[in-house]
Structure 1
Amino acid sequence: MTDFLNILLRFFHFSSLLLLTGCLTYLMLLTPAGYRNRLEIRLSPALRSSAGVALFSAIALFALQTVMMSGEITALSQPDIWSAVAGTRFGHAWLPEMLLAAVSFMLLRAGGEAARYLLLVTLILQLILTAMTGHAAMHDGWRGVAGEVSQSLHVLAAAFWCGGLYPLLLLMQQGQRDPQDNTAVLTMMKFSRYGHWAVALVILSGVSNTLLISGIPRHFSFWLTGVLVKSVLVAGMVMLALLNRYWLVPRFRQSPAESRRRFIRLTQAEMGLALGAIAVVSLFATLSPG
């Protein structure tokens, strides 16, 4: 039961952080200043719920770790067990993770552009801290440092790509309702321009992570099978993104209604594959790479 809860909580924590970071990046760095308030209003329900999920799952994962470490649920009422977990490598990364999740939750309810940029910084720090609790940080020395750096770049690039799909979808739906509104297309082109680099970074850092964690594979373990499944899902996302950018976008002027409708469907499918990839990561993050 604890293993299932560990996977489930990791899925909710990772997916909520990716969504929050991608949405805030899209909102603050890609969206025209005059359009940000309109987009933020539409993003607000997802942002608020995701911030709550990120905070709850961060606390719940730490509590679950105390149970797994002691083997008894009664550990939740024993301060010495909590203190022991806080002193582990996981605890050193997860205590600030919980603190930053609480700060993010409060910042989201604050107004002003400065609060939004500060919120984005706290989200980026949370993603980097998650890199320090996974397999990429299991080694000491240069290999451990390289693993943490590579995994940090991996999750940040994934957040830009995967998390940015939701505001992109909202804007394309708005553009479908109001064909004269070109904001969707303008921000989509910016997202696409930087998205190429994000996709390349996701792939390169993913390969780097695998080599740093397990070296050159000599046999197929269950963990490596999970890596391959994730790779297939990411490849599917890349294919859909290429279809959107290079097949549908050039047809926006010829048949705008049909092209936008197909764009929306493919983006929804891309989001579904992203959730599948996060689910796989949440599973094999709990497994031994051996």
Structure 2
Amino acid sequence: MTLATLFILCRFIHFASLMQIFGISVMVTILAPRAFAVSLLCQNERLLTLSAGLATLTSVSMLAIQAGLMGNGWQDCLNLNVWLLVLTTTFGEVWRWHLLLTAVVVLVCLMHWLPGRAVMLLLASTALLSSLAFVGHAAMHEGLLGIVQRSNHAIHLLSAAYWFGSLIPLLWCLHNAEYQERRPYAITTLIRFSTCGHVAVGLVIITGLLNVAIILQRWPTDLSSLYQLLLLGKIVLVACMAGIALYNRYRLVPLMRLNPQLGHRRLVAASWIEIGLSLVVLLLVSWFATLAPR
């Protein structure tokens, strides 16, 4: 495996982990009723801890890989002098804070007794995702256009994180809806998720199109360009996900009232399909983000 391939894999795992932390945090701090939030957090505790651990491992690994790419290959991945040089670059200036915030997330995850723990995780994961708008293609412009581009990309990342990161907690809500004592809380959470989901999906699409306009400045129709081919693949998959989201909201949710068991099974299946599509989208983004936008 080359360093470039390993970097793509680390980006993929890092983005997925941060989005998962953000999604769980949003669910338990904003969407779930207070009486249900503690239970929902406990059900997602292992996933939260795993995501925090992977985010930490990949954030350090990405710095090491950058050192190898900037230096003389694999032998410089563990060269602390090259690490220090990387930390003086534009990427490194952002990554210092990124590493610090990642450490905060891990510590908060381990402190189960900490008051306001979920809120802290939400704030830290929001800051981590937003910081990713200051590296890569999102940081290619300066001045007013640069501010617009970074702000737009930060909104894009947070909206996508809500959409993807809330799917597994959503499955837990569907599981809880099968129990009479937890059903009202779970249904309330699902309704709130669906309402906010309309906004999140809309923002993902609008900010994504604006990203394309700023970075590529044309529609990605040149299939001889790997960057444009992967970007077009992402657009198609996001359109499929939006279609599934609309089907869930306007077909399966009413079906749950008429035929709860059938509606429940189909909604679970549709959620797993969205999770799979989301992972493919993240992999495509992690790949074409390392390519020249042409």
Q: TM-score, normalised by structure 1?
A: 0.96
- Conserved in 2, the CA contact under 8 Å of 1:176 and 1:260? no
**Equivalent of residue 148 in structure 2, options 146, 149, 153:** 146
Higher deviation after alignment, 105-114 or 5-14: 105-114
Contact 1:97 1:126 in 2 (8 A): yes
Q: Is the 8 A contact 1:55 1:102 kept in 2?
A: yes
Which 5+ residue runs of structure 2 have no aligned equivalent? none
CA distance in 1, matches of 2:45, 2:101: 19
| Counterpart residue number, 1:205 | 207
Q: Could you tell me which of 148, 159, 167 is aligned with 2:161? A: 159
| 3-state DSSP of counterpart to 2:177 | helix
User: Structure 2 vs 1, CA of residues 203 and 187 (structure 1 numbering), >3 Å: closer, same or farther?
Assistant: same
Q: 1:33 to 1:180 in 2, by over 3 A?
A: closer
Question: Contact conserved, 1:172 with 1:264, CA < 8 A, in 2?
Answer: yes
Aligned to 2:103: 102
Which whole-Å CA distance do the structure 1 matches of 2:268 and 2:155 have between them? 28
Gap change, CA 1:217 and 1:30, over 3 Å in 2? closer
Query: Does 2:48 align with 1:44?
Result: no
Deviations 1:219-276 (A, max 9, x none): 6121111111111111111111111110011122211111111111001111111111
What is the Cα-based RMSD across aligned positions, in Å?
1.5
The 5 Å alignment of 1:1-290 reads 1-110=2-111, 111-176=113-178, 178=180, 181-217=183-219, 220=222, 221-290=225-294
Segment of structure 1 superposing worse, 48-57 or 245-254? 245-254
In the TM superposition, residue 177 of structure 1 has moved relative to its aligned partner by 5.4
Secondary structure of the residue aligned to 1:286 is: coil
- Give CA-to-partner distance per residue, 1:125-162, whole Å, 9 cap, x none: 11011111120211222222211111100000111111
* Matched letter for residue 101 of structure 2: L
Q: 1:217 to 1:260 in 2, by over 3 A?
A: closer
Which consecutive unaligned segments of at least 5 residues does structure 1 have?
A: none
Is contact 1:173–1:264 with CA below 8 Å preserved after alignment? no
The Cα of 1:77 is off from its aligned counterpart by 4.8
- Equivalent position amino acid for 2:249 in 1: R
Q: TM-score, normalised by structure 2?
A: 0.94
> Could you tell me how far apart the structure 2 residues matched to 1:215 and 1:258 are?
45
Percent pairwise identity: 34
2:17, 2:55 within 8 Å by CA — same for their partners in 1?
A: yes
